[in-house]
């Protein structure tokens, strides 16, 4: 009896140890053939685009992983609805991966998969928001990483217009702060859909999925407006979108400039504010990694150094494609003598990023300012992904995407 108990305890310890030693690194997900775009996959007989999920695995043991897919509500919370769970076609079991070159010291395996998959084990039957979870195959409550994406089956066609304007409510100094975009989106509702269920419009700038611009039909303001003609015509207006600047970029692919171990994000070292300096063309918030089979596709400790002007306000944060453009406490830069630094681990590749100011109040990020350190230029090329949502009463009620359009500010 004692022997069985000891064996059970040993098994639990070994399993717990293997959980803690599995790390998902360089996780990316994007529409097939367009690795720098927002993860929006199109579905339909004549226009279908699968989702690519790609990552490295750091593990001393050969991992056994599943990927679980869940339909979500507007806040990216998986819905608790039996009809929407899509059981039987929502899990990719025991995923296959390949070994990384021995020269890659901080990861051991690589995974790349397409969804819906050819085996037919995964499908996305509903148009809307989804999350995926990379879990342990033996215990799916152990989640190593997750991601968000959109599966879209358009039922209406959007007509979108973007205008360059200046803020009218007050005078701004410098004048650059008053530069804005106004975006108007119009569509006619198909006869099979009902006007009362048209819910809201959402715009995602580049890949800033956690900072959407939204118009809710139940609440109009001076900058967020909804119109309905009483029949089938709808219009949404979002005003005062600041264009910002082209993103900064670090290119770590050159092994002669960026050797192994500890490197600077910029070969020249320290970076400075760009309020009066228009940036170079970027990847609209994306990144491109060195091919995983390349023997130099290793991981580097990359230090970002920034010296802001003396009169800036707030704390300085680093954000970019490497953290899904989130402003997070863990990415706050440490300041000393007017110089701010943050070191993060990155795989060799090219990454868009920028510096943002914000406050931390009661442990939460507040008063984010994307303009103060980077500038605001009408010439900036941004990609705007525009979604129209509909409260479908079917299957117990859920929010689906009925129209989608992607435009650039140029």
User: Are 237 and 215 a contacting pair, CB within 8 Å?
Assistant: yes
pLDDT at 81: 93
User: Minimal CA–CA distance to 325: which of 402, 263, 254, 244?
Assistant: 244
The three-state secondary structure class of 109 is: strand
Neighbours of 127 (CB within 10 A): 26
The residue ranges of every structural domain in the chain are 19-152, 159-244+380-408, 248-369
Per-residue pLDDT of the chain (410 residues; tens, 9 = 90+): 444 443 343 344 344 444 558 999 999 999 999 999 999 999 876 678 999 999 999 998 889 999 999 999 999 999 999 999 999 999 999 999 999 999 998 999 999 999 998 777 899 999 999 999 999 999 999 999 999 999 999 999 999 999 999 887 666 667 778 899 999 999 999 999 999 999 999 999 999 999 999 999 988 999 999 999 999 999 999 999 999 999 999 999 999 999 888 999 998 889 999 999 999 999 999 999 999 999 999 999 999 999 999 889 999 999 999 999 999 999 999 999 999 999 999 999 999 999 999 999 988 999 999 999 999 999 999 999 999 999 999 999 999 999 999 999 98
CA geometry: angle at 99 spanning 96 and 104, to 5°? 140
CATH number of 248-369: 2.60.40
| Residue linked to tokens 């279908």 | 48
Token pair in block for residue 406: 């992607």
pLDDT in tens, 92-119: 999 999 999 999 989 999 999 999 987 7
How is domain 19-152 classified at the architecture level of CATH? Sandwich (2.60)
* DSSP bridge partners of 40: 150
How confident is the model at residue 410, as a pLDDT? 81
* The CATH fold of domain 159-244+380-408: Immunoglobulin-like (2.60.40)
Q: Is 331 helix (H, G, I), strand (E, B) or coil?
A: helix
Contact 95, 136 (CB under 8 A): no
Cα–Cα dist 81/83, whole Å: 6
Q: Say if residues 116 and 50 touch (Cβ distance below 8 Å).
A: yes
Q: Is-same-fold flag (159-244+380-408; 248-369)?
A: yes
């Amino acid at each position: 009896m004692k022997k069985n108990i000891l064996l059970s305890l040993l098994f639990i310890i070994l399993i717990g140890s293997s959980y803690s030693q599995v790390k998902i690194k360089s996780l990316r997900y994007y529409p097939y053939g367009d690795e720098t775009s927002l993860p929006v996959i199109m579905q339909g007989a004549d226009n279908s685009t699968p989702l690519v999920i790609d990552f490295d695995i750091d593990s001393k043991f050969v991992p056994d992983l599943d990927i679980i897919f869940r339909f979500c509500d507007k806040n990216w919370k998986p819905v608790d609805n039996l009809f929407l769970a899509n059981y039987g076609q929502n899990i990719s079991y025991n995923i296959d991966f390949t070994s990384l070159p021995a020269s890659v010291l901080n990861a051991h395996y690589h995974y790349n998969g397409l969804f819906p998959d050819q085996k037919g084990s995964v499908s996305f039957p509903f148009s809307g928001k989804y999350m995926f979870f990379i879990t342990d195959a033996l215990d799916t409550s152990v989640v190593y990483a997750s991601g968000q994406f959109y599966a879209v089956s358009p039922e209406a066609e959007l007509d979108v217009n973007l205008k360059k304007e200046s803020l009218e409510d007050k005078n701004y100094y410098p004048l650059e702060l008053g530069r804005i975009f106004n975006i108007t989106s119009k569509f006619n509702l198909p006869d099979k859909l009902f006007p009362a269920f048209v819910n809201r419009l959402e715009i995602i700038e580049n890949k800033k999925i956690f900072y959407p611009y939204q118009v809710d039909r139940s609440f109009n303001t001076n900058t967020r407006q909804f119109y309905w003609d009483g029949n089938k015509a709808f219009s949404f207006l979002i005003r005062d979108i600041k264009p910002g600047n082209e993103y900064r970029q670090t290119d770590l692919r050159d092994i002669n400039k960026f050797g192994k171990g500890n490197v600077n994000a910029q070969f020249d070292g320290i970076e400075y504010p760009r309020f009066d300096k228009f940036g170079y063309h970027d990847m609209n918030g994306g990144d491109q990694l060195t091919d995983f089979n390349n023997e130099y596709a290793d991981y580097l400790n990359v230090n970002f150094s920034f010296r802001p002007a003396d009169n800036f306000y707030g704390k300085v944060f680093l954000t970019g494609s490497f953290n899904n453009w989130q402003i997070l406490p863990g990415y706050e830069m440490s300041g000393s003598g007017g110089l701010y630094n943050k070191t993060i681990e990155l795989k060799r590749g090219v990454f868009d990023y920028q510096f943002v100011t914000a406050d931390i109040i009661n442990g939460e990020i507040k008063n984010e300012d994307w303009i103060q350190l980077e500038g605001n230029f009408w010439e900036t090329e941004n990609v705007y992904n525009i979604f129209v949502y509909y409260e479908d009463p079917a299957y117990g009620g859920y929010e689906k995407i009925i129209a989608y359009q992607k435009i650039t500010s140029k």
